[in-house]
Amino acid sequence: MGFVDAAGARLHFQEHGDGEPLVLLHGNSENLGYFAAQVPVFAEHYRVLALDTRAHGDSTRGDGPLDFERLSDDVCAVLDAVGVESAHVLGYSDGGNTALTLALRDPVRVRSLIVNGANLDPHGLGARFRVPATLAWLVGGLVAPLSARVRRQHELLELMVRHPHIPAADLASITVPTLVIVGERDAIPRRHTELIARSIPDAELMFVPDAGHACAEQRPDAFNAAVLDFLAHVEAHD
């Protein structure tokens, strides 16, 4: 367990195992515990760095904007603190958006990229996510001044319904090995996931059978095997 100070926040992370570093980034309103079924498996092969995103889990909110640029900077702050120049980066949902942003802004920090259930813009969420999240955000905005807890939840919903803004054309600059992996019943529309995979040169696309958005949690054996196979292939060709 460790903490890193960055832009007014105290960022919490856990470190497990040895070997090449592998960063795990959870989704909106969650914490690093989302990867409970991944950490012990991955730590048998890799030095796993699981982060609590700013304003999530045991990480504090800090100063300035809460956006994916800031969250990608936070990943770099943790890597710097543990002496890691570059790492395999696995991001789920909003963590996938952070991983994509990091690969675009600081490509030297990313050795390979595993994108699970990400979206390039709010419309990429699909109506099943976007409509209820937007309604909750609008309602939350009316009562946010009355409660610090509601204000925090409102800000996290805003991260979902007003961000990110990643042009698909920009993904062509990502040159590291990339796996785009989603559940076959993910609420993110399949055409959007296919757009992400198609826009990243030579990216692999995999659908986890009998799983939805949280496929790592729902089908951990299948998810873990796919990730480990991908990483083994990456290291074999370095």
For residue 142, pLDDT over 70 is answered with no
Q: 47 and 19 in contact (C-beta within 8 Å)?
A: yes
186 and 106 within one domain: yes
**Per-residue confidence (pLDDT) for residue 195, from 0 to 100:** 98
For residue 139, pLDDT over 70 is answered with no
CATH number at residue 219: 3.40.50.1820
142 and 102 within one domain: no
Total number of domains constituting the chain: 2
186 and 201 within one domain: yes
pTM: 0.95
Per-residue pLDDT of 74-111, as tens digits, reads 999 999 999 999 999 999 999 999 999 999 999 999 99
Q: Which residues constitute the domain of residue 151?
A: 126-163
Per-residue pLDDT of 159-197, as tens digits, reads 999 899 999 999 999 999 999 999 999 999 999 999 999
15 and 130 within one domain: no
205 and 232 within one domain: yes
**Per-residue confidence (pLDDT) for residue 126, from 0 to 100:** 85
